[in-house]
């Protein structure tokens, strides 16, 4: 299984970022989103910013997707059926 990877920069979650993520999900079931330091408002201590981005992405993509936060990385997984 190949895991896709993308970086989230200072612009945050934009329409272009969502389109890029959609294209990655066409090829991969699991994608790692690395949240860069300049995307976090409080720099190194920006764990809350990472959680905010994760919730925002799940709201956009729906119930077929889940996420897990490891450090400053969001791991998103696409499922076949919607999760509860």
CB atoms within 10 A of CB 52: 15
**Average pLDDT score, the chain:** 90
Q: Flag whether pLDDT at 43 surpasses 80.
A: no
Name the token pair of 53: 């981005």
Task: Tell me which residue of 47, 53, 44, 48 sits closest to 13, measured CA to CA.
Answer: 53
Q: Which residue has the higher pLDDT, 40 or 13?
A: 13
DSSP assignment of 11-36: T-S-HHHHHHHHHHHHH-SEEEEEE-
pLDDT at position 44 over 80: no
Spell out the domains of the chain, with CATH numbers in brackets.
4-78 (3.30.110.60)
Please state the pTM of the whole predicted model.
0.89
Strand partners, 61: none
């Amino acid at each position: 299984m190949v895991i896709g990877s993308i970086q989230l920069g200072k612009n945050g979650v934009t329409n272009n970022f969502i389109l890029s993520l959609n294209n990655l999900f066409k090829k991969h079931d699991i994608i790692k989103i690395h949240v860069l330091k300049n995307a976090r408002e409080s720099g190194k201590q920006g764990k809350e910013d990472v959680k905010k981005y994760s919730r925002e992405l799940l709201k956009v993509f729906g119930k077929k997707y889940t996420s897990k936060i490891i450090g400053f990385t969001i791991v998103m997984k696409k499922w076949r059926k919607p999760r509860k």
